[in-house]
Amino acid sequence: MTRVFDAQAVLFDLDGVLTDTAAVHRRAWSALFTEFLPRVAPEAAPYTDADYFELVDGKPRAAGVRSVLVSRGVRVPDGESEDPPDAQTVYGLGNRKNICFTEIIRGDGVEVFEGSLRLVDELAAAGIPMAVVSSSRNAVLVLGTAGLLDRFAVVVDGVLAQDERLAGKPAPDMFLTAARVLGVDPARTVVIEDAVSGVEAGHRGGFWVIGVDRGSGPSALRAAGADIVVSDLAELVEDPRRGS
């Protein structure tokens, strides 16, 4: 791989890479656990944004719930994916968080990172296929709200992952599925991720990984397997050699 514009395809994470919805996820997760944890574990440490980056970011929703609960010594049954949001189960808590997330999106809309949009435009002009690979079950909603849905040939999201029983990030399965559908070689394909779990997934899949530092920190992204780390994807447009 020489640079991002020589790739057979580019696979983007969504939240925190293309759209500023990672901030919305942080708000929704914080609302959930700030209310729930003091009730069930009053002696436990309060939930903070550090927990989001360490325990939740990039993972499937249920896995994020489990990670936070385990970190506080709290056990609840998994339940079922259709559990109501007031159910004290892993899936119930996840569904409660999702209601909060979608309410914010529908009320406030979706902000697209300007530098990311510039890169998408340049890749489209170069004829390089692109896909979105996101653990979120709301990926299509977010892409549609942001006006980006028609930019991507393939969307591999949390809904497809559940339907096809794909392991979530940090397993590489979702990225490998996108590469297979696009008919490209992972070794000649770029993954762009802001979450440590997503960077690890791309690295484990044999992809060339660009980490975007939106709060995880450059050292954590490099340790997870990022080949380079940028603070904004506009850097790859302004100086394509940064993708070398």
Residues acting as catalytic residues: 13, 15
Amino acid letter, 35: E
CA dist list (Å): 16 to 47, 76, 230: 20, 29, 13
Asked if 215 and 25 touch (Cβ cutoff 8 Å), the reply is no
Q: Are 13 and 192 in contact (CB under 8 A)?
A: yes
CB 85 within 8 A of CB 99: yes
Token pair of 5, please? Answer: 């514009």
Q: Return d(Cα 84, Cα 59) in angstroms, integer.
A: 21
- Which is nearest to 101 in space by CA: 196, 19, 32? 32
CA distances to 40, 78, 89, 115, 228 from 232, rounded to whole Å, are 40, 37, 38, 6, 12
> How much of the chain is helix, strand and coil, in % rounded to 5?
50, 10, 35
